[in-house]
Amino acid sequence: MLPTPFAEQVLDLVATIPAGRVLTYGDVAERLGSRAPRAVGTALARFGGGAPWWRVVRAGGLLPPGHEVRAAELLRAEGIAVIRSANGPRVDLENYRWRSAG
């Protein structure tokens, strides 16, 4: 399967996220002028292999379902503190959320 144009946009943007910073699915979608965070997740699920998918987290800083452990390790390796909560591991968006345009 070839990446859809939307998926390519997602991968391209995710690739620009600096190490030590994170973005939410909603942020990625919004930066692409879209309102489909779910499509962002799908794109990373299918084609995220070559992109820093762990820098994309759910709203509230929650890690991607089914990839919490893997993402937590990679994030910690970049200096991002992963906090454990009942609903899953999460990062502090206030401190690590990436803002390239303010």
Binding site for DNA (CB under 7 A): 1, 4-7, 24-26, 34-42, 44-45, 48, 53-54, 58-59, 62, 64-67, 71, 85-87
Nearer to DNA, 8 or 16 (CB): 8
Please enumerate in sequence order all residues whose Cβ is within 8 A of that of 89, keeping only pairs 6 or more positions apart, or say none: 62, 63, 68, 69, 71, 72, 82, 83
Q: Which is nearer to DNA, 66 or 102 (CB)?
A: 66
Q: How far is the CB of 101 from DNA (least distance, A)?
A: 18
Characterize the bridge pairing of strands 56-57 and 23-24.
Answer: parallel
